[in-house]
Structure 1
Amino acid sequence: MEVKKEQIGEIDRNPVYAFTLKNDHGVEITCINYGCIITKMITPDKQGNFENIVLGYDTLEEYMMDSTYLGAVIGRVGGRIKDAQFELDGEIYTLSKNEKDNHIHGGIKGFNRVIWDAEMLKKGDIAGVQFKYFSPDGEEGYPGNLEVKVSYSLNNENEFVIRYDAMTDKKTPLSMTNHSYFNLSGNLRRDILDHTLKLKSEKFLELDPALIPTGEMLHVGNTPFDFTHERSIKSGTVSTHPQNVLVGEGYDHPFCLSNNHNEEIVLKDSESGRTLIMETDEVGVIVYSGNSLRNEGNVRGVPMRKHLGICLETQGLPNAVNQPAFPSIIIDRGQKYNSVTKYRFGIDR
């Protein structure tokens, strides 16, 4: 097991470092302390070729200009909050508006736009890095001083674990996630339309025209949202279902998970043989098929385009602060917040 650290630049005289975790089988994860961004995941295909399976850039400057949240930690709250406000204990809190009249992914300067303190970790067959950030009361409109930790760890079972921990001195919403775009073809040689996905989920959330949950949970049966058996991502991009059309031909929907820590999310690419199995504590996963990726610029020499990557964002349900029927994402003063999502890399031969 190895952990390496190198400086890749600085922001306002604060150094930015890249950390590379590598296990004994050649699997590598690279991340930086700006936004806790995962820049590379190197895994083997069925022919033994080690290639990158996430979208990312080569320079810090590109990440600073990025508007698609490539690889970043999202917080305080992932997803959209309607009208950028919510009520808590009789008080209305107004958040920053960064998507028309709504708030998305933590705001203008969310967790993805800050430099985190970082410490390398190595213990036995585990290599990792722990990030820390202090989010002051009122940041982006959220109440409470919040101390946050995010740890990334890799082991020799080809398992990569993200753990989120936090503590607040005042009631506040918190629902963190990671926004990596996966592409199991390797080095972005194909888009993700022929990837298949399997979810242990029987319900998904209906979205309104602003892509905010209406509050209705719809059954997946007999729809393009039925991933209880393997389904291609392409099936949703060519669908005429109003919800697929609404989000730009594909998926950008929260799914309610019916199982946890039981191989509840499985992504596959049959041509490369790569598989990704995800397990989580969270109640939901947002499946986003990259419908809004524009034909602008490139990602490590590959033109950016629609459906080049897929996000699988494990988190609480979006806009839960305004939907009493959704599981609460409010943490109380002194309450310990923690959440774990595990990614296991494999091969189908």
Structure 2
Amino acid sequence: MKKLAFLFLIAAVACQQPAKKEEALYTKADFESSIDGKQTTLYTLENANGMKVTLTNYGAKIVSIMVPDRKGELADVALGFRSIEEYQTLDAGQGAVVGPYANRIANAQFELNGEVYQLEVNNHNANLHSGTQSFYRQVYDAQEIKTEDGPAVEMTLLSPDGASGFPGNKEVTVTYTLTENNELKIDYQATTDKATHFNLTNHVYFNLKGEGNGDILDHIVVIDADSTTEVLTNELIPTGKIMSIKGTDMDFTIPHPVGERIDSEMHALAVAGGYDHNYILNKDQEDGEMTFCASVYEPESGRYMEVFTTEPAVQFYTGNFLDGTLTGRSGKIYEHRYGLCLETQHYPDSPNHPHFPSTVLEPGDTLNSTTIYKFSVKE
């Protein structure tokens, strides 16, 4: 893999101290329910370093990610809730696999092979994250498996032709693997019997201080991207133009705290109310090579997260719409900018911009995509 040592100014070291036991905030029973006639439950992945990840097959969601700080103290760095009922009623997108199409599609429609497909309008005049009943509200079939890289949970969803407005009988498999290198690896695979658009991602919110423990404005971010898809209004629909961000307040090719420039008068930041943009990674946009995408460092805890992906871009989002109306798993309120997302993806509104990297999946082809979130600490 190229660029895996990209701009790391301080060496990251894996935490060697034994992690201290955390207090359980929920049990497996809190995630056992029946939704649309299918059983939901909770799965747990653990490694020898004390890292633990919990998952539910409702929306293929990451429920929690427990990682140690430089003192070996564990904290849950993923925002979320303590029961299936809360995920149903509060915010089903937290930690969820988003699909079949993540991000925005202008005017909630696209044309494919001469046919116009109308989608749900759920964000201004657009379709966002495939609508309110998309993959993140579906129950996957799931099983625990062993892989060469570590323990894993494999989740499979059959999405019928026309579901959420998208053509094709679609089969999607999402596999979460926890490695001994403190990597949470997400492998996506999809097939269809009719040409359709796919753009799969995970919508996990991170706070490396621990969920609910303040905002993310002091988190130091690097993103290996020199350009973005231009947006001009708060609808955040790409104009189709690729815009350089080198040297601007959106440039994270060298480390910057999130809050240093977030309230900039730069037009793209002003209309979005902070960072909520598609960063085009500095890589071949078509070959699907695994490369460094981004990193996040939280100075107080020493927690450090690196992101690697085969995807061509990443949506960097700074919790601009968190407004204090959600109470998280530990009973703490999620205030404005209490979490950030790094959603690896193809570009927003690609179905309506033929010059963007294609998101069309044809019958007989298989979509394969991998994203890795790797955790360590800096001393």
| TM-score band, normalised by shorter chain | over 0.9
Instruction: Confirm whether residue 281 of structure 1 aligns to residue 293 of structure 2.
Output: no
Give the secondary structure class of the aligned counterpart of 1:309: coil
Are 1:245 and 2:274 matched, yes or no? no
Letter in 1 for 2:317: Y
1:103 is displaced (CA, Å) by: 0.7
SS at match of 1:184: coil
**Hey, what does 1:309 align to over in structure 2?**
339
TM-score for the superposition, normalised by structure 1? 0.95
The residue that corresponds to 2:120 in the other structure is 96
Aligned mate of 1:56, from 59, 63, 80: 80
Q: Is the Cα–Cα contact under 8 Å of residues 232 and 267 in structure 2 kept in the other structure? A: no
Post-superposition CA distance 1:267-325 (Å, at most 9, x none):
11111111111110101000000001112131121112110000100011010000111
Counterpart residue type for residue 79 of structure 1: N
1:261 aligns with 2:290: yes
SS in 2 for 1:266: strand
Where do residues 10-25 of structure 1 align in structure 2 (5 Å cutoff)? Answer: 10-25=34-49
Q: Which of 23, 32, 44 is the matching residue for 1:8?
A: 32
Indicate the larger mover: 218-227 or 339-348.
218-227
Q: 1:197 aligns with which of 221, 226, 238?
A: 221
The partner residue of 2:146 within 100, 113, 122 is: 122
Please give the residue correspondences for 1:125-140 in structure 2 after superposition, counting only pairs within 5 Å: 126-140=150-164
1:99 aligns to what SS in structure 2? coil
Q: Distance in 2 between matches of 1:190 and 1:299?
A: 12
Matches within 5 A, 1:1-349: 8-67=32-91, 69-123=93-147, 126-209=150-233, 210-248=235-273, 250-259=274-283, 261-300=290-329, 301-349=331-379
Task: Please state which structure has a larger fraction of its residues in strand.
Answer: 1
RMSD of aligned C-alpha atoms?
A: 1.5
Give, in whole Å, the separation in 1 of the partners of 2:332 and 2:118: 39
SS at the partner of 2:260? helix
Deviation at 1:206, TM superposition (A): 1.6
Shift of 1:124: 5.5
Deviation at 1:93, TM superposition (A): 1.0
Change beyond 3 A, Cα 1:252–1:319: same
Whole-angstrom distance in 2 between the partners of 1:136 and 1:9 = 23
Structure 2 letter corresponding to 1:308:
Y
- CA shift, 1:125, in A, is 5.6
Cα distance in 1 between the residues matched to 2:353 and 2:187 = 26
Cα 1:197/1:182, change in 2 over 3 Å? same
Letter in 1 for 2:44: T
Q: Is the partner of 2:40 in helix, strand or coil? A: strand
What's the TM-score once normalised by structure 2's chain length? 0.88
Alignment length (residue pairs): 345
Matches of 1:42 and 1:131 in 2, distance apart? 21
Identity of aligned residues (%): 37
Q: 22-31 vs 65-74, which deviates more? A: 65-74
1:214 is displaced (CA, Å) by 1.1
- State the 1:242 CA deviation: 1.3
Offset of residue 246 of structure 1: 0.7
SS in 2 for 1:327: coil
Q: What amino acid maps onto 1:247 in structure 2?
A: A
Measured in 2, the distance between the counterparts of 1:124 and 1:78 equals 29
AA in 1 matched with 2:249: P
Greater mean alpha carbon deviation, residues 88-97 or residues 329-338: 88-97
Contact 1:54–1:183, Cα closer than 8 Å, also in 2: yes
8 Å contact 1:236–1:251 — kept in the other structure?
A: no
State whether residues 143 and 155 of structure 2, in contact with CA within 8 Å, keep that contact through their aligned partners in structure 1.
yes
1:95 Cα deviation (Å)?
Answer: 1.2
Unaligned 5+ segments in structure 1 are none
Report the Cα distance in structure 2 between the residues aligned to 1:167 and 1:118, rounded to whole angstroms. Answer: 18
Q: Which amino acid aligns with 1:227?
A: F
CA apart distance, 1:199: 1.2
Structure 2, unpaired ranges of 5+: 1-26, 284-288
How far apart in 2 are the matches of 1:132 and 1:311?
24
Q: Distance in 1 between matches of 2:201 and 2:147?
A: 25
Q: SS at 1:182's partner residue?
A: coil
Give deviations 1:126-166, integer Å, cap 9, x for gaps. Answer: 11100001111111111111011000000111111000001
Determine helix, strand or coil for the equivalent of 1:132.
strand
